[in-house]
Chain A
């Protein structure tokens, strides 16, 4: 199992954010959880129209925080949602959920 978080990105963020570093991580934890719930809710309710935007947004914020595996899976979900290719989407959702849990765990250790 690869690292859920890129340590180099984390070090860079620590340097940039200085005393705001912990707050940034806290905000990410809350916001990424909220966005995933929104994605999950829409998927379960069959609201497919906005799914690519939510996946895109998750891809962006995960990449910024160094959650590379999350960003990579989100990118795949965004592509699938844009293409209307829903066959592997449940599988991608599950993979993302798992990756996000692990990223959160790592980040919580850092806070």
Chain B
């Protein structure tokens, strides 16, 4: 039962009041003065208090203050009793913690209504208090879950090169939940790949999408895949895992420090900026694509654009958190201010200058949590002394090995062995630095063995545009009646310093008079046919045909400079 403390020094009034309260179904505790009221409050823990304002020993206002302090967060309604009615008194009641008044003579009906109202309020306060502690518990739980998720995410996403000496970045500590993701890694050739992504939405969906994205980015970058291939795979995976309407705006940049060029793709992020070292102008890395995770694989375009760079140029990327950072009037930072900050900054302080400009705009030292900014300094990596680049990848991988792979006629008709062979070769880290060249060699030697060695097609047909079409018609026909074999022999003799890869391709055909062909080639150095062999000579350190002309052997060498 709800306990009500009645504190009133006037005997008859106390008696009457106690009786009224009792009749309304409450448990009554009485106190004869202020001190008695405090002592009864402490010992009997009433739920509500009726307090005469003017009492001996300690007046009602003092008692009210003491009770409110003692009750702490627990809500104990206090009703002041008095026939005082001036506004100064009412004010004093409220300031000392009173929740209501009741004036003399007591009106039983009025008192009942007030007690009921206060009890409802008390019930709501109890409920509120319970909900508040439940909310605090849930929030605590959520924060713990987020920290755990962040720790998992960090292990997967931040194993890359974010701490490289040439890279500055600002990424919110809880970025995994605001949907921003920043990934950076070197490919086998030493190029730096940077991916800045901004998932739609916040929270778990963004975090979930970031995991496969990071996995694909790091896995494929380490294996030497092209940017377009990484993008295609990322798009395919995100399209598969993200719910409808969710996607990832992203910019991927490959910085080739040795070739002094940048290859980039931007799908939906604010344009990145390439700030020239000695000039106050910028090159924009515009978005020309839809974000990742929207298009079906067949419709996706991963074409990248190239731009030449000089050492000392700076690449600046940001998510729209920077562009849309608002000041107190809701005005956004805008592209224009971003560009001005980058363009006008001292080249050594671009990153800091942009952050200062955003801080000055928002008047917020802490900055919003969905603001991601990255700056890459284009410099000679050897000069940067990034020694860790390859050493970590040399352990536990194949280096000196041989492989023979032979395809019979049934396989030749229907199966393309090149991706599988390329994959096997790419397990050897040194080979990844020339992945595309190796692929070209495989494709050329295999096409030659298949089309000329096994299917006996005449490449001189390809000398004219009409013949070109005719050639491919013949090829399709020949494929149906194909009978023959092709064998690949690979010999890898590599170590940390370099070495040689030998690729030998032998077909079951009669061979061709390569000596005569070599002489003829000197006379006609142009034309479609023979182009494949010239390509091999350009790529490989050695190209040999072996009698009777059905075997080609190429050697590719890796020196210290390439390792």
Query: Which A residues are closer than 8 A to B by beta carbons?
Result: 9, 12-13, 16-17, 20, 23-24, 27-28, 31-32, 53, 56-57, 59-61, 63-66, 71, 75
Partner pick for B54 among A12, A13, A53, A66, CB 8 A cutoff = A53
| Residue contact A64 to B84, C-beta cutoff 8 Å | no
Query: A1 CA to B12 CA in the complex, in Å?
Result: 26
Contact of B389 with A by CB under 8 A = no
Q: Name 28 interchain pairs, CB-CB below 8 A, sorted by A.
A: A13-B16, A16-B16, A16-B19, A16-B23, A16-B108, A20-B19, A24-B12, A24-B16, A27-B11, A28-B12, A32-B12, A56-B84, A57-B9, A57-B10, A57-B54, A59-B83, A60-B10, A60-B82, A60-B83, A60-B104, A61-B10, A61-B12, A63-B83, A63-B104, A64-B16, A64-B104, A66-B105, A71-B105
A16 contacts across to B, CB distance below 8 A: 16, 19-20, 23, 108
CB <8 Å contact, A60 and B13: yes
The residue from A20, A60, A63 contacting B15, defined by CB atoms under 8 A apart: A20
- On whether the beta carbons of B15 and A24 are closer than 8 Å, the reply is yes
Q: How far is the CB of A94 from chain B (nearest CB, A)?
A: 23
Query: Assuming A31-B12, A59-B104, what are 20 further A-B pairs, CB within 8 angstroms?
Result: A9-B105, A13-B16, A16-B19, A16-B20, A16-B108, A17-B16, A20-B15, A28-B12, A56-B54, A57-B9, A57-B54, A59-B83, A60-B13, A60-B83, A61-B10, A61-B13, A63-B105, A64-B12, A64-B106, A65-B12
A65 to B16, CA, bound (A): 9
* Nearest CB on B from A62, distance (A): 9
Consensus secondary structure, chain A interface = helix
Contact code string B277-319 (vs A, CB < 8 Å = 1, else 0) = 0000000000000000000000000000000000000000000
Mark contacts of B1-31 with chain A using CB atoms, 8 A cut-off: 1 yes-contact digit, 0 otherwise. Answer: 0000000011111011001100100000000
When chains A and B are docked, how far (Å) is the Cα of A23 from the Cα of B11? 11
List B residues 99-117 near A (Cβ within 8 Å).
Answer: 104-106, 108
Q: How far is the CB of B110 from chain A (nearest CB, A)?
A: 12
Q: What distance in Å separates the Cβ of A61 from its nearest Cβ neighbour in chain B?
A: 5
Cβ of B81 to closest chain A Cβ, rounded Å: 8
In the bound complex, what is the Cα–Cα distance between A66 and B104 (angstroms)? 11
Contact between chains at A64 and B108 (CB < 8 Å): no
Q: How far is the CA of A12 from the CA of B108 in the complex (A)?
A: 9
Task: Please indicate the chain B residues that have their CB under 8 angstroms from the CB of A17 in the complex.
Answer: 16, 19
Which residues does chain B contribute within 8 Å of A28, judged by CB atoms? 12
A57–B16 alpha-carbon span in the complex (Å):
15
B17: nearest chain-A partner, CB-CB: A64
CA distance A22 to B105 in the complex (A): 19
Residues of B within 8 A of A57 (CB): 9-10, 54
Chain B residues contacting A20 (CB-CB under 8 Å) are 15, 19
Closest 7 CB pairs of A and B: A63-B105, A28-B12, A60-B104, A64-B105, A31-B11, A60-B83, A27-B12
Q: Which residue of B lies closest to A20 (CB)?
A: B19
CA distance A72 to B337 in the complex (A): 77
- CB-contacts of B62-104 with A (<8 A): 82-84, 104
Please give the distance in Å from A49's CB to the nearest CB on chain B: 14
Determine the distance from Cα of A16 to Cα of B107 in the docked complex, in whole angstroms.
11
Which residues of the partner chain A approach B83 to less than 8 Å between Cβ atoms?
A: 56, 59-60, 63, 75
Chain B residue nearest to A52 (CB atoms) is: B54
